[in-house]
């Protein structure tokens, strides 16, 4: 079976699922080529299973650019990730005899812009009308596909409940055969919490940090984020001496630092934008051997039970109580919880297993 993956990524990107599933684990099960984009590129290039196209091809000219390098009819499947203009181009280009087309839907870009307008109060009517039009157009494109790969089944049920196209959730996880897992060093002193990711108004990190600031006890909260001090002031985030900010670090270095912590943060606001999400950093916490303080999210509940995670509602008082509960438990119970959680991720979200499930799904008749 030959597969062409049209990513939404730029050359040099290191997206965990794309690289692990399509770049490593599928290669022994199928012939795979991946398409990336490059803002500096002026022509298409094909080398070592990777195709690089100019940035403009994300929106127009994709089929022509690919046609100069490959015969699209030689592939059994073309998988398009997130780019609806690319999906439309591939649907137009396919012949009556193939290839089959799948859409990998990992984030709601159009809905996010609409949601952001509701939060900020800017351009609400225009964004609402734009989203309504885009949602209908995108749904029509997905309905023409041969397969749909939502990030979670909750995502599909929330945004495409009437879709009859064969569907396989392709959530995020961890590549246990890829990066080496760091050994957990001896730890002492205050319990160390860790968060890695974006801090913005949509994620309501002001609520999370207010809960931490209200919690009583001795702890450290280490945050790996691009947000600088000026950005923190703009968001009105609390200033607590227990908070320690760090710039982002590469994934292998992050795993090492996670292994030095005691508890990760997977607190996601219960909003429609996020209910169908699959937060990748949470699985990295568990791969490093640390459990996480989680909010109610369907994708979390699909993997982590009460023996592997601490759940709390997403409000300031409950988050403060959750922090204090972690401090009461201490390191030994947390370490045991993290180890059980790591095995749950290994059993359900190892990218090697997910690659096998994907191949079986794509090979199924129909």
How far apart CA 353 and CA 152 sit, in angstroms, is 16
Region 315-328 average pLDDT: 98
Region 207-226 average pLDDT: 97
Q: Does residue 366 surpass a pLDDT of 80?
A: no
pLDDT in tens, 269-318: 999 999 999 999 999 999 999 999 999 999 999 999 999 999 999 999 99
Average pLDDT, the chain: 94
Which two structure tokens, joined as six digits, stand for 279? 């937060």
How far apart CA 151 and CA 170 sit, in angstroms, is 5
The contacts of residue 359 (CB under 8 Å, 6+ apart) are 1, 26, 29, 30
Q: Does residue 169 surpass a pLDDT of 70?
A: yes
The whole-number pLDDT of residue 156 equals 96
Q: Which architecture does CATH list for 191-349?
A: 3-Layer(aba) Sandwich (3.40)
The whole-number pLDDT of residue 12 equals 83
Region 159-165 average pLDDT: 95
Region 343-347 average pLDDT: 97
Q: Does residue 365 surpass a pLDDT of 80?
A: no
Which of 198 and 119 is assigned the larger pLDDT? 198
Region 111-121 average pLDDT: 85
Every domain of the chain and the residues it spans: 2-173+351-363, 191-349
Share of the chain above pLDDT 70, in %: 99
The whole-number pLDDT of residue 8 equals 94
The whole-number pLDDT of residue 121 equals 84
The whole-number pLDDT of residue 152 equals 96
The whole-number pLDDT of residue 263 equals 98
The whole-number pLDDT of residue 111 equals 85
The whole-number pLDDT of residue 143 equals 98
**Which CATH class for the 2-173+351-363 domain?**
alpha beta
Q: The pTM is what?
A: 0.92
Q: Does residue 349 surpass a pLDDT of 80?
A: yes
pLDDT in tens, 63-99: 999 999 999 999 999 999 999 999 999 999 987 777 9
Which two structure tokens, joined as six digits, stand for 126? 């225009």
């Amino acid at each position: 079976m030959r597969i062409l993956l049209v990513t939404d990524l730029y050359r040099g990107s290191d997206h965990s699922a794309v690289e692990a599933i399509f770049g490593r684990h599928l290669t022994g099960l199928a012939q795979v080529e991946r398409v990336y984009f490059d803002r500096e590129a002026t022509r298409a290039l094909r080398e070592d299973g990777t195709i690089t196209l100019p940035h403009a091809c994300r929106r127009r000219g994709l089929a022509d650019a690919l046609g100069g390098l490959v015969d699209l009819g030689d592939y059994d499947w073309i998988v398009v990730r997130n780019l609806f203009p690319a999906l439309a181009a591939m649907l137009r280009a396919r012949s009556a005899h193939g290839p089959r087309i799948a859409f990998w839907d990992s984030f709601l870009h159009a809905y996010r812009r609409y949601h952001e307008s509701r939060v900020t109060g800017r351009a609400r009517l225009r964004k609402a009308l734009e989203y309504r039009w885009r949602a209908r157009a995108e749904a029509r494109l997905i309905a023409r596909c041969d397969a749909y790969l939502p990030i979670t089944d909750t995502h599909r049920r929330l945004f495409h409940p009437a879709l009859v196209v064969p569907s396989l959730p392709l959530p995020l996880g961890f590549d246990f055969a890829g990066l080496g897992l760091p050994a957990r060093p001896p730890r002492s002193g205050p319990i160390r919490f860790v968060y890695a990711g974006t801090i913005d108004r949509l994620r309501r990190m002001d609520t999370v940090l207010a809960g931490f600031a209200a919690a009583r006890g001795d702890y450290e909260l280490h945050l790996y984020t691009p947000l600088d001090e000026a950005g923190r002031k703009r968001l009105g985030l609390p200033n607590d001496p227990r908070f320690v900010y760090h710039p982002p670090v590469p994934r292998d270095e992050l795993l090492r630092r996670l292994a030095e912590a005691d508890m990760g943060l997977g607190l996601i606001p219960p909003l429609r934008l996020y209910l169908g999400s699959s937060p990748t950093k949470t699985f990295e916490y568990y791969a490093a051997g640390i459990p996480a303080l989680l909010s109610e999210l369907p994708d979390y509940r699909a993997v982590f039970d009460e023996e592997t995670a601490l759940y709390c509602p997403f409000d300031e008082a409950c988050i403060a109580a959750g922090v204090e509960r972690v401090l009461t438990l201490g390191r030994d119970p947390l370490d045991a919880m993290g180890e059980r959680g790591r095995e749950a991720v290994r059993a359900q979200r190892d990218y090697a297993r997910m690659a096998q499930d994907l191949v079986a799904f794509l090979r199924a008749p129909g």
